[in-house]
Structure 1
Amino acid sequence: MTRNSNERRLEVACEVARQAGKHALSYFADRSRLNIEGKGVQDMFSQADVETEVLIREQLAAAFPDDGFFGEETEPSGLESSNGTWVVDPIDGTACFVVGIPTWCVSIAFVRNKRIEIGVIYDPNSDELFSASHGQGSFLNGQAIAVAKAQDFTGGMTGFSFSHRATPQSITGVLERLLSQGGMFYRNGSGALTLAYVACGRLNAFFEPHMNSWDSSAGVLLIREAGGWANETLEGDGLVKGALVMAAADGLAGSLKKLILGDETSS
């Protein structure tokens, strides 16, 4: 994939993310219009999720008709496309969205040959647009960003996210070890937005035992392009089935892996 094609995709993804955020925000401002349905334990959606994903899908298909699409709310298509696949969560943080908590975002990534080429996260509540293209750095509203300079867990917070696809034990031990080392945890209900906060240095690190690729991919690229570290989340069938996600400021990568994995090794 050429740099020019990435530049075009990034430009379109940023514009589409803003349009999608505006659409979702109109529902957030009048939640009485929402029809909320359950998908599982602590997992829900509304017509705002579906409509926002359809908007994103249609806009991306109009600009790049040969690209694949993999989103949370609609059927996938073209996952084997040699051009690559858009990986989308229209509203990450739906549980917050439906009760009026302003910690949710639009997440759009573009993946080709298991490499994340484009990552865009838009928080319409704060009008913050995080964007990255492979090899070109990470930006917040057009300004370059960088991960924190932390060397241990005592000087800042570590973001956590959790779903009941994982067991409680997969996270409680990590929390205990973090607190025992003088660290502190942070959770806002949106894993994608939390990853963006690591990318811009607001948080030092991040962990979720299992995360779908539509939630993680954009944020993982943002962190890498901001000088941080993240594990390989798309190995094997990670695109379709999700994976454990851990990410950190570069100076904390080894400590985070030890905190989560103990003596195991990680890529």
Structure 2
Amino acid sequence: MRLLLVEDDDRVAAALVAVLGRHGFQVRHARSGHEALDALVPDGSDPYRVVLLDLGLPDRDGFEVCSRIRAGSGVPVIMVTARADIRSRIHGLNLGADDYVVKPYDMGELLARIHAVARRGTPRPAEESGPEPAGPLAARGIEIDRERRRVSVAGRDVPLTRKEFDLLALLAQSPGVVYRREQIFSEVWRSGWEGNGRTLEVHIGSLRTKLGLPGLVEAVRGVGYRLIPGQPDGEPDPVGDGPAER
């Protein structure tokens, strides 16, 4: 998933880019409003899924940048700023920001908010209409039919439980992006993950076995899981499940 980070403080940006990169995001850093607006001009490359926008920029106020982004694009915008007053929050949301996060913030919460606005900004009609051989998944022969809640691999139907299907569908939304355990439990189990690490580990193991693709879902130590559609079949996971759940 491509993100545009608009932040004039290079130290803050470097730390955030490093963390986001570890979670599978591709991040472009813009240091000014002008650079951000230039970055959003269509150039044939994959579009940005989310813009993280600081308000204190050197050349123009972030509110103006948000307004200009919204005038020409529907890309989700999360304002990430030290301005905590309610008037700024209301103004930002009224200008078209999709979310507003105050510094300092919890990184897990920011990641969850990024995923949330990215989902809201993704067109869904084709997804709801039937089979979804999503680009990178098609190479592994995986089709996900969200409407009928069916999954097939190389034309072979794979019976999954309700939670197994929901788990696979969540990870398949953004192949390569790390989903934190907290987010997975919130969206699939509608509960907190504390004390339930073994439940998630068992469901991941069952998915790998039923799909016959042991390298499809990778455990990221201490964080969560991501779907790796390009990993060769039968190759052992580079990181074991046990440590990732502790």
TM-score by length of 1: 0.23
Point out the structure with the larger strand share: 1
The structure whose RCO (Cα within 8 Å, separation 6+) is larger is 1
